[in-house]
Amino acid sequence: MLKINNLSVNYGGIKAVRDISFEVPDGEIVTLIGANGAGKSTTLRAIAGLVKTAGGEILWNDRNIRGEKVQDIVSKGITLVPEGRRVFPNLSVLENLKVGAYLRKDDLTEDLSMVYDLFPRLKERSWQLSGTLSGGEQQMLAVGRALMSRPKLMMMDEPSLGLAPLVVKDIFSIIREINKQGVTILLVEQNANMALHTANIGYVLETGRVTLKGSGQELLDNEAVRKAYLGETRQ
């Protein structure tokens, strides 16, 4: 279980994340929604160890991992699918998947076939340089790559960004599928609609602070959320 207590992150004088606390229970899909610049990405990157934090605790199975090196955090079972996919364009699809399993020393064939079952399009293109894939395919590759390390917690930073609506639907159904197989998901999204329909628990972030918490449905029904993030105008 991931517990965040009073986490703060500063970006050179600007408080990007102020004193936030939330929980990601095992096996759940938790989502952080909010506007651009609210601090959602920063939170994920802080958990992954990519940015320096200013205070608070990041408890993973009751051990504080704040301040640890990225590779150590990854080895503990937390992966991040970064914003913008960030596949390695100079590596082939297969190599991208293999590099996702970098820390593992055992045989990868089972995991590779699992990922290919989940994303058949990737299997067709396993020798292709990933820089030549479409946006949607790259997103699938990024997710598959994250799965290769057999993570316990998979964090996803704006998986829908820049993707066509049909592809977005695919991605989110796959997220649910992965979750069913036992992977805890922490999802950051601007597309509040899809996120809240997929997640069990949701938090709303505004200028670095958690302002609302509830189940996916509760937040979908919430007036303020509807006005700010679901595009509902006053009727």
Partner 1 sequence: MDWSVVLPYILSGISVGGQYALIAIGYTMVYGILRLINFAHGDVFMVAGLMMIYFSASMPMYYSIPLMIIFTVLLGYAIERAAYKPLRTAPRMSIMISAIGVSYLLENLALYVTGGLNQNYPGIPWISDSITIGGAVTKRVTIITPILTIVLVVALILLIKHTKFGMAMRAVSRDFDTAQLMGIDIDKVISVTFIIGSFLAAIGSLLYFTNYTGVVPTSGAMPGLKAFVAAVFGGIGSIPGAVVGAFIIGICENLIKGLDSVLMVNGIISQQFGFATFSDAFTFVLLIVILIFKPTGLFGEKQTDKV
The DSSP symbol for 83 reads: T
- Is the CB of residue 88 less than 8 Å from the CB of residue 138? no
- Which residue, 13 or 231, has its beta carbon nearer to partner 1? 13
Does the footprint of partner 1 cover residue 82 (CB under 8 A)?
yes
**Residues between 103 and 122 that touch partner 1 (CB under 8 A):** 103
**Contact code string over 16-45 relative to partner 1, x by CB under 8 A:** ------------------------------
**Residues between 134 and 163 that touch partner 1 (CB under 8 A):** 145, 149
Does the footprint of partner 1 cover residue 74 (CB under 8 A)?
yes
- Which residue, 155 or 225, has its beta carbon nearer to partner 1? 155
- Is the CB of residue 186 less than 8 Å from the CB of residue 156? yes
Q: Which candidate, 134, 158, 139, places its Cα nearest to that of 96? A: 139
Planar angle of CA 174, 42, 90, nearest 5 degrees: 60
Q: Which candidate, 35, 45, 36, places its Cα nearest to that of 11? A: 45
- Which residue, 98 or 209, has its beta carbon nearer to partner 1? 98
Q: Which candidate, 40, 43, 36, places its Cα nearest to that of 8? A: 43
Number of CB atoms found within 10 A of residue 88's CB: 15
- State the minimum distance, in angstroms, from the CB of residue 27 to partner 1: 23
- Which residue, 40 or 145, has its beta carbon nearer to partner 1? 145
- Is the CB of residue 42 less than 8 Å from the CB of residue 8? no
Candidates 46-54, 55-63, 202-210, 227-235; binding stretch for partner 1 (CB under 8 A) = 46-54
Number of residues binding to partner 1, judged by CB under 8 A: 23
Q: Return the residue of 89, 165, 169, 176 that touches partner 1, per CB under 8 A.
A: 89
Distances 138 to 89, 97, 133, 146, 190 between C-alpha atoms, Å? 9, 12, 6, 12, 19
**HSE toward the beta carbon, residue 189, CA cutoff 13 A:** 26
- Which residue, 106 or 223, has its beta carbon nearer to partner 1? 106
Secondary structure of residue 186 in the 3-state scheme: strand
Does the footprint of partner 1 cover residue 90 (CB under 8 A)?
yes
Candidates 31-39, 53-61, 88-96, 167-175; binding stretch for partner 1 (CB under 8 A) = 88-96
- State the minimum distance, in angstroms, from the CB of residue 8 to partner 1: 20
Please report, as ranges, the residues that interact with partner 1 according to CB under 8 A. Answer: 48-50, 70-71, 74-75, 79-80, 82, 86, 88-91, 95, 98-100, 102-103, 145, 149
